[in-house]
Structure 1
Amino acid sequence: MNIDLNGKIAIVSGSTAGIGLAIARGLAAAGARVVVTGRTEARVQHAIQDIRGTVPGADLDGVAADLSTAAGAATLAERVTHADILVNNLGTAGAPKTFGELTDDDWLNLFNFNVMSGVRLTRRYLQGMVDRGWGRVVFISSESGLHIPKDMIEYGMTKTAQLAISRGVAETVAGTGVTVNSVLPGPTSSEIFANWLEPVAREQGKTLEQVQKDFVDTKRPSSLLGRFATTEEVANMVVYICSTQASATTGAALRVDGGIVRSIG
C-alpha cells in the first residue's frame, strides 16, 4: 500500500517527543506538510531536526504554544489557518493515586489538558475540512479508556471521554468526506513512560527493558504482545487512518494495545 499525503497539511499536537513525534515523522514520510507543536521553540526545533534526519526533504513547520490552553489554541489557529489532518495527541498523566487521594484539581486539570485540548483544536479546524469535502481527525486515546487502571482513574476517565467525543464528532460530519477516529495505544516506549520507569530501573538495578517487562507482567497481564509497543508501531496505525485509503473507516476506536483489552469488539 502506497500512502500518499502530498498536498495535505497535518497538525499533530504534542509532537516533540514520543508517540506524537513518531506520528509527525510518519505523516512527513508520506508526503504531508506537518506542523510540529510543543510548548517551547527549542523543543519544536529539536523535533524538526530529528524528523529531517530520518526523512530528508520533509516539509515541516513548527508552532510553539501551550495547546492545553485556549490561548495556545488561538496562537496555533493564527499561525495555521487550515488543516486537512488533525491528530489530537497532546496528553499527560499524573502520578498514580488512589481514588481517595485524588483532588478536584487532579480531575479538572487532567480533563482540561487531555480532553479540552482536542475539543478546542477540533472545533477550530473541523468546519474547514467539511467545507473542502475532505479531512481526517484522530484522537489519541488509550487502552486505559476501556481498561481503567485503579490507581489512575482520572486518567482513564479522560481517555474514555476522548472516545465519546471522537464518536460523537464522527456522527456530526457523516457523509461529508471527513473521518473522525480514535486510536488506543497500550504501554508504549515513549518519553512519558520512560520518565516514570527509569527511576524505578535505577532503584532496582534493572534495565529499562526489564522494568517494562515487569510492568506488562504485573499491570497488564492480559497483554498478548507481552512487551511495550514502539512509538512507530502506534504511528503506523495513525498514518493509515489519515490516508485516502482509509475513507471507509470513521467513528471507530482502533486498538494498538497489544491485545490487553479482552474483547473481540
Structure 2
Amino acid sequence: MNIELKTKRALVTASTGGIGFAVAKGLAQAGAAVVVNGRSERSVNDAIARLLAEVPGAAISGVAADLSTAQGVETLLAGLSAIDILVNNAGIYQPQDFFAAGDDVWNAHWQTNVMSGVRLSRALLPAMVERGWGRVVFVASESARNIPADMIHYGVSKTAQLALARGLAKRVAGSGVTVNSVLPGPTLSDGVAEMMKGEVERTGKSLEAVMRDFVLEQRPSSIIQRASSVEEVANMIVYVCSTQASATTGAALRVDGGVVDDIV
C-alpha cells in the first residue's frame, strides 16, 4: 500500500518525542506538510531539526504551546494555517492511588488528555467539513478499556477520548471527514523510558527487557508479550490518516499487542 499525503497538512500535538514524533515522521514520509508541537521552543526546534535530518526535504514547521490550558490551545491555533489532519496526541499520565489523587490530579488529566482535543477539534473540524475531507485521530490507550487500578484518573480520561471520537464521527457523518481513536498498549516511548529509568538502573537490564518483564507481570493477557515500538503505533495512526482509510470512522483501533482480551 502506497500512502500518499503530498497535498495534506497535518498537526500532531505533543510531537517532539515518543509516539508523537514517530507519527510526525511517518506523515512526513508520506508527503504531508507537518506541524509539530511541544511545550518549549527548544523542544520544538530540536524536533524539527531531527525530522529534517531523517526526512530530507520534508515540509516541517512547529508551534510551541502548552495544551493543558485554553490559552495554550489558542496560542497553537494562532500559529496555524489550514489543517487537513489533526492527531490529538497530547497526554499525561501519573500513577497514583485513587484515594490520594486530589482534584488537581483529575483536573490536570482532564484538561490535557480530553479538553485539548475538544478545543482543537472544535476549532479545526468545521473547515475540514467545508472542504469535504479531513482526518482526526485521538491517541488514547488500552487503559481506556482496561482501567488501571493505580491510574483510575488516567483511565477515565482515556475512556472519555473514545466517547469523544465516536461522537464527533457521528456529528460530521457524511462529510468526508473521519474521526477515530487509536489505543496503544505498553509502548517504548520516551515517557515510559523516563518512568522505568530507576528500574533499568537497579537491574542493569535494557529498557526492552524491563518492559518485557512489566508486560508479562502487569499485562499477562498480552499476546505479543512485549512492549510495542513507537513506530508500530505510528503505522496504525498514519494509515488511519490516509485516503485509503476512508471507510474507517468512529472506531477504537487497538495497537495493544492483544492486551485487551476480547475478539472485537
Q: TM class by shorter-chain length?
A: over 0.9
Deviation at 1:204, TM superposition (A): 3.0
The answer for the alignment partner of 2:233 in structure 1 is 234
Partners of 2:73 and 2:107 lie apart in 1 by 18
The answer for the alignment partner of 1:222 in structure 2 is 221
TM-score by length of 1: 0.98
Partners of 1:137 and 1:232 lie apart in 2 by 19
Deviation at 1:82, TM superposition (A): 2.1
Is residue 56 of structure 2 the alignment partner of residue 56 of structure 1? yes
Residues 200 and 207 in structure 2, CA contact (< 8 A), matched pair in contact too: yes
Deviation at 1:57, TM superposition (A): 0.7
Partners of 1:224 and 1:126 lie apart in 2 by 36
Residues 188 and 208 in structure 2, CA contact (< 8 A), matched pair in contact too: no
Partners of 1:86 and 1:109 lie apart in 2 by 22
The answer for the alignment partner of 1:141 in structure 2 is 140
Q: CA RMSD in A?
A: 0.9
Q: What per-residue deviation string (whole Å, max 9, x for no partner) do you get for residues 127-177 of structure 1?
A: 000000000000000000001110111110010000000000000000000
Is residue 115 of structure 2 the alignment partner of residue 116 of structure 1? yes
> After the TM superposition, which segments of 4 or more aligned residues of structure 1 sit over 4 Å from their partners?
none
Partners of 2:77 and 2:206 lie apart in 1 by 42
TM-score by length of 2: 0.98
Residues 139 and 181 in structure 2, CA contact (< 8 A), matched pair in contact too: yes
Paired letter, 1:61: S
Partners of 1:80 and 1:221 lie apart in 2 by 43
The answer for the alignment partner of 2:31 in structure 1 is 31
Deviation at 1:75, TM superposition (A): 1.4
Partners of 2:37 and 2:101 lie apart in 1 by 30
Is residue 9 of structure 2 the alignment partner of residue 12 of structure 1? no
Partners of 1:205 and 1:244 lie apart in 2 by 45
3-state DSSP of counterpart to 1:99 = coil
Partners of 1:211 and 1:159 lie apart in 2 by 25
Is residue 85 of structure 2 the alignment partner of residue 78 of structure 1? no
Paired letter, 2:30: A
Partners of 2:5 and 2:234 lie apart in 1 by 15
Deviation at 1:209, TM superposition (A): 2.1
> More displaced, 197-206 or 118-127?
197-206
Partners of 1:64 and 1:7 lie apart in 2 by 24
Structure 1 segments unaligned to the other structure (5+ residues):
none
Partners of 1:255 and 1:169 lie apart in 2 by 19
Partners of 1:45 and 1:79 lie apart in 2 by 15
Partners of 2:183 and 2:27 lie apart in 1 by 18
Residues 68 and 108 in structure 2, CA contact (< 8 A), matched pair in contact too: no
3-state DSSP of counterpart to 2:10 = strand
The answer for the alignment partner of 1:254 in structure 2 is 253
Structure 2 segments unaligned to the other structure (5+ residues):
none
Deviation at 1:181, TM superposition (A): 0.2
Paired letter, 1:50: R
Partners of 2:10 and 2:161 lie apart in 1 by 20
